[in-house]
Amino acid sequence: MADSSSKSSSSLSTNPSSTIVRTRTNSWPFTILLSLLVPVTIAVLVYQLDSFDPAPFPIHDLTHQKPMVVPRRNPRMLHGSEEIGVGQLLGPEDVAYDPKSGMIYTGCVDGWVKRVTVNQSAAETVVENWVNTGGRPLGIVLGHHDEVVIADADKGLLKVAEDGVTELLTDEAEGLKFRLTDAVDIANDGMMYFTDASYKYSFHEFVWDFFEGRPHGRLMRYDPTTQHTTVLVRDLYFANGVVISPDQNLVVFCETPMRRCKKYYLRGEREGSVDMFIDNLPGLPDNIRYDGEGHYWIAFSTEETYIWSVAQRYPFIRKVMAIMEKYVGRPHVEKNAGVLAVDLQGNPIAHYFDPRLSLISSGIKIKDHLYCGSIANSYILRLNLTRHPAVVGA
């Protein structure tokens, strides 16, 4: 290469190759144009050919107020936090605590529901493979008879008895199969409240639900006595975390891309209707859990990134992102994941997060500690809230 180019430049005026060199020089603007035109044309063609058709999000529903002000914050929650069960807990999405045995239950990406015996020393955590669902266990909650109920993204709503025997409770409602059973909670009367995030996209395709911008999610109730599944609320945007209020009057549920949680009234004058519980959240909500001490804990997979706020407004940007997802891949933009504590009225109380943290999917408080699950980490994160509290003015 170097030889031929030095030869052609040294013999510019005498050699016939000089014409070629001159032509090349003159063609530069054309080459630049061509090199721009080709990828742009391909991009336009791919865009035109691709049948994916995103819809506008109901942006008017989103309160475009100033960012939420949370009275107390710990914006560096990774400082002082510990990793539990490193390498043995792959994508522990939701976390449930059994105060009787002192064990934590969590569902992993390899289908294993694991039992974790935590210790004062993080290094002495004991992890046990308990039951493999053969699917993707997400939401997890303890029942009233020592059973564990699991929202398995691939399988549906599952019950695992104390001896490990697994039973499918439900995987469809109103003739529509669940594609992404996501979260579950059990009321004192035994009724199970759960979400299917999407009847269209599976767990592995969840980002497509965000790109498409149509409400494929449902909040449902399973009655273990009649074995009947009732749809309570339909047309939800990626219906995610579910929690029953301690007075048993409400079910609170999250809609991830809309950055809000709503409440469904289970009794009283407003029975069967839906109101806002908290909106304009400082992140995309995943699971919500009650701590038994007056606070719900809402986990965020990421703060609202600039790219997502723009994409949400313009369907064509989501279409470009979808095409990129198919042919190129997705950039990693998630940051400032964490957990927000809110009171029973939906007022924000304390926000724990970190710029280096992404894809946190659940947070529960056990005694001194906040335990966080994640769909991406290979451990559960633990933070001593007494030692590292959220403070005013942080």
Ligand X SMILES: *[C@@H]1O[C@H](CO)[C@@H](O)[C@H](O)[C@H]1NC(C)=O
User: Which residues here bind ligand X, judged by CB under 6 A?
Assistant: 119-120, 124, 126, 368, 384, 386-387
> What would the DSSP string read from start to end of 181-205?
EEEEEE-TTS-EEEEES-SSS-GGG
> What would the DSSP string read from start to end of 301-315?
SS---HHHHHHHH-H
Q: Which is nearer to ligand X, 58 or 80 (CB)?
A: 80
What is the nearest approach in angstroms of ligand X to the Cβ of residue 288? 24
CA distance 167 to 366: 29
Alpha carbon separation from 380 to 99, 172, 362, 363 (Å, rounded) = 18, 31, 10, 10
What is the nearest approach in angstroms of ligand X to the Cβ of residue 162? 22
Phi, psi of 124 (to 5 degrees): -95, 20
From 80, 77, 132, select the one nearest 110 (Cα to Cα): 132
Q: Which is nearer to ligand X, 119 or 188 (CB)?
A: 119
What is the nearest approach in angstroms of ligand X to the Cβ of residue 338? 19
Q: Which is nearer to ligand X, 66 or 387 (CB)?
A: 387
CA distance 56 to 97: 40
Q: Which is nearer to ligand X, 81 or 256 (CB)?
A: 81
What is the nearest approach in angstroms of ligand X to the Cβ of residue 105? 18
| Amino acid found at 370 | L
What is the nearest approach in angstroms of ligand X to the Cβ of residue 121? 6
What is the nearest approach in angstroms of ligand X to the Cβ of residue 84? 12
Q: Which is nearer to ligand X, 3 or 124 (CB)?
A: 124
> What would the DSSP string read from start to end of 314-361?
-HHHHHHHHHHHHHT-------SEEEEEEETTS-EEEEEEETT---EE
CA distance 198 to 240: 10
Q: Which is nearer to ligand X, 125 or 229 (CB)?
A: 125
The answer to whether 83 and 379 have CB atoms below 8 angstroms apart is yes
What is the nearest approach in angstroms of ligand X to the Cβ of residue 384? 4
What is the nearest approach in angstroms of ligand X to the Cβ of residue 115? 13
Q: Which is nearer to ligand X, 33 or 394 (CB)?
A: 394
From 383, 380, 388, select the one nearest 125 (Cα to Cα): 380
Written as six digits, the tokens of 387 are 């030692």
Q: Which is nearer to ligand X, 17 or 384 (CB)?
A: 384
The answer to whether 222 and 345 have CB atoms below 8 angstroms apart is no
Instruction: Name residue 254's beta-bridge partners.
Output: 261
Q: What angle do CA 58, 62, 67 make, to 5 degrees?
A: 155
Alpha carbon separation from 122 to 127, 135, 140, 352 (Å, rounded) = 12, 28, 22, 20
Q: Which is nearer to ligand X, 344 or 366 (CB)?
A: 366
What is the nearest approach in angstroms of ligand X to the Cβ of residue 125? 8
Q: Which is nearer to ligand X, 10 or 386 (CB)?
A: 386
What is the nearest approach in angstroms of ligand X to the Cβ of residue 369? 6
